[in-house]
A = this chain, B = another copy of it.
Amino acid sequence: MAEDLKLTPQSNDFSAWYLEAIQRAGLMDYAPVRGCIVFKPDGYELWERIQAGLDSRFKATGHRNAYFPMLIPESFFQKEKEHIEGFNPELPWVTEAGGEKLEERLALRPTSETMIGYMYSKWIQSYRDLPLLLNQWSNVFRWEKRTMPFLRTSEFLWQEGHTAHADEPEAREETMRMLDVYADFAENEMAVPVWRGQKTPSERFAGAVDTYSIEAMMKDGKALQAGTSHFLGQNFAKGFDIKFLDRDNQLKYVHTTSWGVSTRLIGALVMVHGDDKGIALPPKLAPIQVVMIPIGPPKLREKVMEKFGPVYDALKSAGVRVATDLRDETPGWKFNDWEMRGVPIRLELGPRDVENNQCVLARRDTGDKTTASLENVISRVKMLIDEIQINMYKKALAFRNGNCHLGIETMDDLQAHIAKTDASGELVGWVLAGWCGHPICEARIKEETKFTSRNIPAEPPVRKEKCIACDKEATHTFWIARAY
């Protein structure tokens, strides 16, 4: 590969690497609208596979999809005070339509608690209407100051689940169930290990009683909030008057939840698995699992192609997502190109392979090459698919755990850790810290170190005794880290 086709190394400038990698892999392009991107086919197909994996999990847990209007009247936002305060600064507004100025401004939805709350108040009358378990796949808008492709864009795609329940325990159970669904999907399909935990009040969703998140570590050691699940209590029920007649003949407010993941998961995939060769996709989500490339001198190509077609057909019939690369380029150029695009397995077939009734299988995750007999190429490829999926998860887990620091007790320890890693070029990673629960201590950590609280895991690896900031008794043990 010519030097100028290489990516900026991750260790030089991770952001530059990321922006180059996602464009070279054909995932996105910049759009001519502030902070917006175009999802190119290879990027959108990742989203389609993420959707399929999540959607089947949502349906298996009793949810159905629906679609609510994108435009939300301004007055709706006023009904939940914290909600409007949280989202107001980021809203785009429609003020004119059909040639006329509108009487009331309409917001482009940043999330749909208000619109859905309004409809739920019409639909829910009795305990028989509960639980109401809906999900929506849609576009949403948040006009944020600083944007980054996939991670934070003015328009993005997501799903938002909205459920209503007769009582608090059931709503809390739902909140945790969906957090577990997200964690299961991230770990088993995306091969991305995550910490589940509760957000501190300052990081809560605007309008929630409690917010929970899954947090993943990117290859630069920074944290990415990869999904959130909110227990909304009766806040929106009261704002939108969502009441039901219970079995005991009492009129009660419902308890609601909401939960969402977005196209930022594509960014997570790239930042967790990518390397200096480009992006790397876990086989379960990769649009192409195996790319077949004929090698050897062109004059012997015909002989190679006699075996090439049948191997392709056999893999395809076996349900493997396989593609061929017959472009007029050198094998070396193609190898680099497909490594850049993150395809898990490269299958090479040359004249000598054909003679020996074999092929070469090269792994994107380890770079290892092995030969496989053409007799059992299907089972070998399938085994490799499973192996790569597991290995990518293990590798990401080892990296994550290797950069989670458990022995930092005080702000001095933390500053020393930051100074040491800065000097050595190591990653600063995440720190497990004790916290007294006071927002002032949380704010101090952020001010002095740019570490923000990620979440409070229910089962931290160690339980801290003292608050890292004030040295008083710790009521919580949380992850703190620099974050996207």
Contact = CB atoms under 8 A, between A and B. Distances in A.
B89 A97 contact: no
Interface stretch (A69-77, A164-172, A406-414): A69-77
B65 A38 contact: no
Interface residues of A, number: 54
A119 interface: yes
A99 interface: yes
A93 interface: yes
Nearest to A71: B33
Interface in A98-136: 98-99, 105-106, 108, 115, 118-119, 122-123, 134
A98 B94 contact: no
B38 A119 contact: yes
Interface string A25-68: 00001011100111111001101100000000000000011111
A92 interface: yes
A212 B91 CA distance: 39
Nearest to A98: B143
A94 B108 contact: yes
A278 B68 CA distance: 24
A384 B93 CA distance: 52
Interface in A142-158: 143-145, 154-155, 157
A97 B91 contact: yes
B66 A32 contact: no
A155 B69 CA distance: 7
Contact of A98 (B31, B89, B155): B89
Interface of A: 29, 31-33, 36-41, 44-45, 47-48, 64-73, 76, 88-99, 105-106, 108, 115, 118-119, 122-123, 134, 138-139, 143-145, 154-155, 157
Sorted from nearest, which 9 A-B pairs have the closest CB atoms?
A: A98-B143, A92-B97, A41-B64, A39-B67, A36-B69, A97-B143, A93-B96, A31-B69, A95-B95
